[in-house]
Amino acid sequence: MLASRLRRYADRHPRLVESALLLLVYAATAGQSVRHGPGRTVGLLMATVACLSLLWRRRRPGRVVVVSALCTGVSGGAGHEITPLLLLPVIVALYELAVRAPERTARAHCPAAVALVVLPALLPAHDSRPWIETTVITAFWSLLPLVQGSAVRARRAYLGAVRERAEHAERTREEEARHRVAEARVRIARELHDVVAHHMALANAQAGTAAHLLRDRPRQAEQILAELGTTTSSALRELQATVGLLRRPDDPDDPLEPCPGLARLPELVSAFASAGLRVVVTAEGEERPLSPGADLTAFRIVQEALTNVTKHAATGIAHVRLVHSSDRLTLTISDDGGAQPRPAAPGGGFGLVGMRERARSVGGTLRAGHRPGGGFCVTAELPVRP
């Protein structure tokens, strides 16, 4: 409890704590110089210089180690006994060096500091202790701050790395969340475009055909109007399923329910037939089951391409070709453009963009463009499995 309070106080008043520490170091070192040894004036002067140099220990740790060790060595050469109290400035400087300087620099300065302190003390008649005792004690008190400083440095580096990883994980999590939201928005926009564009274009074509046949062939016009009701009901169901994604708390990447696929291709062909567009479907190769994503993508591409035919081509027939291979499905939707192509819809649209995005989302490709002999062609290659 007391230690935590002291730590908090030191964090709030770092300069005051540092000044108190340096004063204590100076008092202990100067007192040792005054009480022991004949050269009291030299010892006091060297203690003062060594402690003053500690003020620059953070900016110039290597130089401070050299200055403090040199001052301590001069005191030892003047006859003062090399004790831990006399070594305090060197210990503080070596600790700061180990914390702030590279490890190689700290290791290089430690032998130099020991040599500067020990060699003057080994002069005859300066120290009553055996030279080996002086050397061992000095080396021990020189290595101790290096070991402690290296441990503190390693712990700070570890905590910094942990904090950096945590911040990186937080940034990555936020970026991933934004990315998923953007993907969900694009996916929902694509679904809404396909549902609205297809069903509204189909309903418009069916209504126009029914109005054209109402006087001469009322029975056929009645049948088309009944199919128009089916088209609008289907549009409402798919819109409800798509908009329902916005209220779902679970994964937005789950497939839509119901999820259309190529199994509904006959139903799609029949709907376009009621709008006056005959769709000829041909298949080659052995049919293989598609993944749910590829199946939905194939259906939507056929749906959008045929919708574009009804909107932009003055023709009554379109061709859908499915080529199955061992690992890919190739879709080709084409038309001859008719004798008098219809003008482009004002403002353009996102049909081709959406089809390309759908193909890429399952690992496939899509090409679209005008045919040399007239008309338009859309070709998509989709993998059987993701």
Of residues 214 and 357, the one with the higher pLDDT is 357
Q: Contact 142/94 with Cβ under 8 angstroms? A: yes
Give pLDDT tens digits for 19-73.
777 788 777 777 776 665 556 777 778 878 888 888 888 888 878 888 888 888 7
Query: Which CATH code is given to the segment(s) 175-383?
Result: 3.30.565.10
Burial 251-275 (b: 16+ CB within 10 A, else e): eeeeebeeebbbebbeebbebbebb
Residues 296/298/301/306 CA torsion (nearest 10 deg): -110
Predicted pLDDT of residue 255: 47
Residue 321: pLDDT over 90: yes
pTM: 0.48
DSSP 19-78: HHHHHHHHHHHHHHHHHSSS-HHHHHHHHHHHHHHGGGTTT-HHHHHHHHHHHHHHHHHT
Q: Where are the domains of the chain?
A: 2-128, 175-383
Q: What is the DSSP letter of 264?
A: G
How far is CA 346 from its chain centroid? 41
Interhelix angle 131-213/218-243, nearest 10 degrees: 160
Taking residues 144-170, report their average pLDDT. 84
CA distances from 167 to 80, 174, 178 (A): 53, 11, 17
Of 100-109, 168-177, 297-306, 345-354, where does mean pLDDT reach its minimum?
345-354
pLDDT band at 131 (very low <50, low <70, confident <90, very high): low
Q: Contact 356/366 with Cβ under 8 angstroms? A: yes
Q: Contact 310/275 with Cβ under 8 angstroms? A: yes
Of 78-82, 221-225, 333-337, 340-344, where does mean pLDDT reach its minimum?
340-344
Taking residues 258-278, report their average pLDDT. 80
**223: exposed, middle or buried (Cβ count in 10 Å: 0-12, 13-18, 19+):** middle
Kindly give the residue spans of alpha helices, DSSP state H, lying in the chain.
Answer: 2-12, 14-35, 40-53, 61-77, 88-100, 103-121, 131-213, 218-243, 265-274, 292-312, 351-361
